Amino acid sequence: MKTFDVRRASVAESRRIESAAFGTIGRMSEFDLRKPHPLLVVISGPSGVGKDSVVQRMKERGFPFHFVVTATTREKRPNETHGVDYFFLSKDEFARMIEADELIEYAIVYSDYKGIPKAQVRDAFASGKDVVMRIDVQGAETVRKLAPEALLIFITCESEEELERRLRERKTETADSLSLRIATARKELQQLDAFDYVIVNYDFHLDDTVDKVRAIIEAEHLKVKHRQVTL
């Protein structure tokens, strides 16, 4: 007569049930856990607060985002590269893009046109990448209307005096244009409630600002209710 080991049978049966249960849970989680949609991240704020520097440092640190290149009709500065910093277009070329409905948004900023080409954003979304765009406050408001689920981050500096100092040090402004930019910045600060987050970009703390932007994006991807942008 064979001896039946109840203890061994119980252990084996428990393991079989446990394995089946964990296998079921694993399969359920694969189907039930919703993958986050790509984010449309808008980096905005007054002229002179360091938007360009923030985005440039994000690129230098190899962040896995698609960085939108803005089209503009303004003159190229000596340190800028066409197709990298901006697409520098003539006003006739820009007008053709408007007529063909090839822009997500466009606006007149200090007598020049700026706009975001649609194709870049759609192609990046299709590849599953988050899209980062650097635009002025007026443009950010337009994007919010077109894409309410966009993630808007307002970059500023610690004071009006600091903003004026930064603008003067760029040496790209006349006295009149400097006064205009300061007045515009005051008005743009009144639009802060239209944004989701605000970051003070302190002088000599650029990486701290970039770390905060990255943390915001990561936190958004961990939310139970994901943002879903449709363009």
Active site residues: 77, 170, 181
CA dihedral 85, 90, 94, 99 (to 10 degrees): -160
Q: What are phi and psi of 206, to 5 degrees?
A: -60, -45
The pair of three-digit structure tokens given for residue 156, joined into one six-digit string? 């500023």
The pair of three-digit structure tokens given for residue 131, joined into one six-digit string? 């899209």
* Residue bearing tokens 């449709």: 230
Alpha helix (H) ranges present in the chain?
Answer: 6-32, 51-60, 91-99, 118-126, 137-146, 160-170, 175-189, 206-221
Chain center to CA of 184: 23
Is the distance from CB of 137 to CB of 43 less than 8 angstroms?
A: no
